[in-house]
């Protein structure tokens, strides 16, 4: 389960700036990358919805890569030089000349012409120092007319607790500089401004999944999750693979460990609460009952069957954590109405972050 809200990411991109010498560069759309609408001398782009879990479909021309500590949205584009004297080559550098007000929540990333800009591994945080800018097209540079592919991205890291930020941020500006390597002079500049109108907004997101624990039943993932306890009986005879038996008043509990994996970003809390209840009970509830425990040996308690008062499994689940619980199936030895056959039940889990 996850909650995803929306924010819009807008870029104003000054595509072409020429000095009096006539030397200049263009930053062009790459096939499959972001494209823009020319407004005066600026290009306007939108990155669409973004979040640190990489949930959802990225904007047109963008690729999203979910990482272990956040997500990066990125796109390739092309650089082309013009107006250089015969035999001259130029380089291109970039730095964040005005950073976001919350630079820990949004990080401008750069992929140089020597990088693998089609993968997240080709990107790194762009320099914020004018005196030590990041290389976009490094020496020995290139001459007129050649187009090389580079990349730009925004990394949205996990932030929770005191460092959490969600909302509207101020603009960030990237300055590109073209340097004639024969004269070592900066001959052209361009700026790329993030967050125009509408303003860029960072949003929070949550995600929870179930998984198979070592030694436990296989948890099968589809639109929902499923597992099978196989053949069971009130005496605990011959439990199937992945199951252990625990004696209980009136019967036997068949138990299996399982995992619930938690991720959440941009919340003030550092922990999440997991709750569960039996949303569809067995057709024969006097014969079978689902229970829960923190340890394999118990103690086991019956899972709630009421949505309004679910069973609290934990209140201290950390971000990006795998948590082990034990699901127990109590099989009564002497039910009021004997039953043999197949039966099913459904448990609904809820993740809540304060």
**Interval 202-261: pLDDT, tens:** 889 999 999 999 999 999 998 899 999 999 999 999 999 999 999 999 999 999 999 999
Q: What is the pTM of this model?
A: 0.85
pLDDT over 90 at 155, yes or no: yes
**CATH T-level topology, domain 206-352:** Immunoglobulin-like (2.60.40)
- Mean pLDDT over residues 156-163, rounded? 94
Mean pLDDT value of segment 181-198: 83
- pLDDT score at 27: 85
> How would residue 19 be classed by pLDDT, with cut points 50, 70 and 90?
very low
pLDDT recorded at residue 37? 55
Cβ neighbors of 175 (< 8 A, separation 6 or more) are 94, 95, 97, 130, 189, 190, 191
Look at strands 205-212 and 220-221 and give their pairing: unpaired
Which of 1-15, 169-183, 226-240 has the highest average model confidence (pLDDT)? Answer: 226-240
Asked if 158 and 69 count as a contact pair (C-beta separation under 8 A), the reply is yes
Q: Supply the pLDDT for residue 36.
A: 63
Instruction: Output the pLDDT for position 14.
Output: 37
Tokens 């209840």 correspond to 277
Q: What confidence tier does 295 reach under pLDDT thresholds 50, 70, 90? A: very high
Give the tens place of pLDDT for each residue, 106-144: 999 999 999 999 999 999 999 999 999 999 999 999 999
pLDDT at 13 over 60: no
Per-residue pLDDT at 4? 40
What's the confidence (pLDDT) of residue 354?
A: 87
Question: Nearest to residue 322, comparing CAs of 229, 257, 227?
Answer: 257
Average per-residue pLDDT for the chain: 89
- Quick: pLDDT tens for 59-89: 888 999 999 999 999 999 999 999 999 999 9
Burial of residue 68 (CB within 10 Å: 0-12, 13-18, 19+) is exposed
Plot region of 266 (φ>0 → left; ψ -120 to 50 → alpha; else → beta): left
pLDDT of residue 6: 33
Cα(311)–Cα(302) distance, integer angstroms: 9
% the chain with pLDDT above 70 = 89
The Cα 219–Cα 35 span in angstroms is 43
40-58 tens-digit pLDDT: 445 667 677 889 999 988 8
| Alpha-carbon span 315 to 324, nearest angstrom | 14
Q: Would you list the domain boundaries of the chain?
A: 10-203, 206-352
Burial class (CB in 10 A: 0-12, 13-18, 19+), 98: middle
What is the share, in percent, of the chain residues with pLDDT greater than 90? 74
Structure-token match 């073209």, residue found: 178
**pLDDT band, very low/low/confident/very high, at 196 (cuts 50, 70, 90):** low
């Amino acid at each position: 389960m996850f909650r995803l809200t929306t924010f819009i990411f807008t870029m104003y991109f000054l595509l072409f700036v020429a000095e009096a010498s006539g030397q200049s560069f263009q930053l062009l759309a790459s096939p499959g990358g972001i494209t823009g609408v020319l407004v005066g001398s600026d290009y306007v782009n939108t990155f669409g919805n973004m979040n640190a879990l990489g949930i959802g479909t990225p904007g047109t021309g963008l690729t999203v890569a979910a990482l272990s500590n956040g997500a990066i949205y990125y796109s390739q584009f092309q650089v082309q030089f013009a107006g250089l004297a015969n035999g001259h080559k130029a380089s291109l550098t970039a730095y964040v000349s005005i950073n976001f007000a919350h630079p820990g929540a949004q990080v401008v990333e750069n992929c140089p012409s020597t990088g693998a800009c089609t993968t997240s591994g080709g990107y790194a945080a762009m320099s914020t120092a004018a005196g030590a800018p990041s290389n976009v097209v490094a020496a020995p540079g290139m001459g007129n007319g050649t187009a090389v592919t580079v990349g730009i991205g925004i990394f949205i890291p996990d932030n929770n607790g005191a460092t959490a930020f969600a909302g509207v941020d101020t603009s960030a500006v990237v300055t590109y500089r073209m340097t004639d390597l024969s004269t070592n002079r900066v001959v052209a500049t361009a700026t790329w401004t993030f967050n125009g109108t509408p303003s860029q907004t960072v949003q929070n997101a949550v995600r929870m999944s179930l998984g198979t624990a070592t030694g436990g039943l296989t948890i099968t993932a589809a639109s929902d999750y499923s597992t099978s306890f196989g053949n069971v009986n009130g005496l605990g005879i011959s439990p199937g693979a992945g199951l252990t038996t625990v004696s209980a008043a009136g019967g036997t509990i068949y138990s299996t460990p399982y995992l619930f994996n938690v991720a959440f970003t941009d919340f003030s809390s550092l922990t999440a609460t997991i709750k569960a209840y039996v949303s569809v009970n067995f057709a024969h509830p006097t014969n079978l009952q689902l229970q829960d425990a923190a340890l394999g040996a118990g103690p086991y308690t019956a899972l709630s069957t009421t949505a309004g008062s679910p069973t609290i499994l934990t209140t201290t689940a950390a971000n990006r954590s795998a948590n082990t619980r034990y699901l127990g199936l109590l099989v009564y030895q002497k039910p009021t109405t004997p039953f043999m056959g197949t039966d099913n039940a459904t448990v609904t889990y809820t993740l809540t972050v304060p």
